[in-house]
C-alpha cells in the first residue's frame, strides 16, 4: 500500500460523501448548501495538495459562496499566480468530489498517474474563509485533508477572495509581486490609488467620497481596514457593515474588494 493511503483513507472515513449528492466544479468552484459540503471540502484539500506537488508551488483554497445566501457555502482553488483552477483540474476536482468512498483511492491514483506527480515533493496550501457561520468547520475539513497528505498549510483566517489570490501570487513570486500579508494587500492597493490620484490633473485637494454596501460580510470588515490606508485620498462610507442584519440578504449586485 502506498504510504499516503495509510493516512488519507482513515481521514477520509471521517468525511464520507453523502449518498445521492452530485457536485460540479465550475467558474465559482463548488457551491451549494453548507451542510452538504464536508466531504467536498476534504477532497478539495486533497486536490490542492496534489496540484501543489504537480506545480511545485503554493496553491490557495478559499472557502466562500460569495453573494449566495448565508446558508450556502463553497470552495475555490487558486493557481500559483492567483488564477482560477485550470480547466483540466476542474475535471479532477469534480471526479474526486463525486467518487464514492470506495472509489476515492482509485481516483487519487489516477490523478497521480495522469500527471506523473512525484509524491515525495513537498506541498504547501494557503487557506482563507469568509464570515459565514459554517466556514470554520468547513475550513477544518480542508485542513484534515492537507494533514493526511503530510503537507504544509497556512491558515489566514477571514479574508476576501481577491486577498487570497493576492497572497498566493506573492508567496509564489517570493515577494516580488508584493508583501505576502493582509497589510501588504492594503498597501499595494492604496499606493496604486494614491499615485493615480496624484498623477491625475485637477485639484488634488478634492476628497472623493463613495458609499460601499458591505452586505454584512467579510468585505465590509476589509473596506474599513483599507480606509485607513487611503486617508486623505478616498473617504468610504460603509453600510451593512455586519453589526446588524444577515449576510447577503436581498443582495442584487456585488463587486469584490
What are the respective helix, strand and coil percentages of the chain, to the nearest 5? 45, 15, 40
Residue 257 has pLDDT above 60, yes or no: no
Which pLDDT value is given to residue 33?
97
Distance between CA atoms of 162 and 146, rounded to whole angstroms?
22
pLDDT band at 198 (very low <50, low <70, confident <90, very high): confident
Q: Is the pLDDT of residue 163 over 90?
A: yes
| Residue 54: how many other CB atoms lie within 10 Å | 19
pLDDT recorded at residue 241: 82
Identify the band that residue 203 occupies on the pLDDT scale cut at 50, 70 and 90.
low
What percentage of the chain has pLDDT greater than the value 90? 72
pLDDT of residue 19: 92
- Residue 252's pLDDT band (cuts 50, 70, 90): low
Query: Annotated catalytic residue: which of 39, 52, 58, 66?
Result: 66
- Asked about 66 being catalytic, the answer comes back as yes
pLDDT band at 213 (very low <50, low <70, confident <90, very high): confident
- pLDDT tens digit string along 89-110? 999 999 999 999 899 999 999 9
Confidence band, pLDDT 50/70/90 cuts, at residue 18: very high
CA 225 to chain centre: 20
User: Is the pLDDT confidence value at 24 over 90?
Assistant: yes
DSSP 11: H
Asked whether the predicted pLDDT for residue 133 surpasses 90, the reply is yes
3-state secondary structure 158-170: ECCHHHHHHHHHH
Rounded Cα distance between 180 and 171, Å, is: 6
Once rounded to an integer, what is the mean pLDDT over residues 10-29?
95
Judged by average pLDDT, the poorest of 120-124, 131-135, 218-222 is: 218-222
Residue with the larger pLDDT of the pair 220 and 31: 31
pLDDT reported for residue 250 = 67
Residue 20 to residue 14: CA distance in whole angstroms: 18
Amino acid at each position: 500500500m502506498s504510504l499516503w493511503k495509510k493516512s488519507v483513507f482513515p481521514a477520509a472515513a471521517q468525511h464520507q460523501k453523502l449518498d445521492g449528492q452530485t457536485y460540479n466544479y465550475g467558474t465559482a468552484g463548488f457551491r451549494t448548501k453548507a451542510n452538504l459540503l464536508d466531504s467536498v471540502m476534504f477532497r478539495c484539500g486533497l486536490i490542492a495538495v496534489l496540484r501543489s506537488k504537480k506545480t511545485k508551488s503554493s496553491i490557495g483554497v478559499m472557502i466562500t459562496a460569495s453573494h449566495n445566501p448565508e446558508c450556502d457555502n463553497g470552495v475555490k482553488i487558486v493557481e500559483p499566480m492567483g488564477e482560477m483552477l485550470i480547466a483540466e483540474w476542474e475535471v479532477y476536482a469534480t471526479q474526486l468530489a463525486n467518487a464514492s468512498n470506495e472509489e476515492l483511492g482509485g481516483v487519487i491514483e489516477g490523478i497521480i498517474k495522469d500527471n506523473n506527480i512525484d509524491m515525495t515533493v513537498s506541498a504547501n496550501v494557503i487557506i482563507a474563509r469568509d464570515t459565514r457561520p459554517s466556514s470554520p468547520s468547513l475550513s477544518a475539513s480542508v485542513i484534515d485533508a492537507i494533514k493526511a497528505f503530510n503537507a504544509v498549510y497556512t491558515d489566514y483566517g477571514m479574508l476576501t477572495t481577491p486577498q487570497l489570490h493576492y497572497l498566493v501570487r506573492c508567496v509564489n513570486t517570493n515577494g516580488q509581486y508584493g508583501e505576502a500579508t493582509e497589510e501588504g494587500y492594503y498597501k499595494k492597493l492604496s499606493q496604486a490609488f494614491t499615485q493615480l490620484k496624484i498623477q491625475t490633473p485637477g485639484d488634488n485637494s478634492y476628497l472623493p467620497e463613495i458609499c460601499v454596501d458591505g452586505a454584512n460580510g467579510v468585505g465590509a470588515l476589509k473596506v474599513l481596514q483599507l480606509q485607513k490606508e487611503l486617508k486623505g485620498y478616498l473617504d468610504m462610507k460603509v453600510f451593512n457593515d455586519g453589526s446588524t442584519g444577515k449576510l447577503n440578504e436581498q443582495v442584487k449586485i456585488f463587486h469584490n474588494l
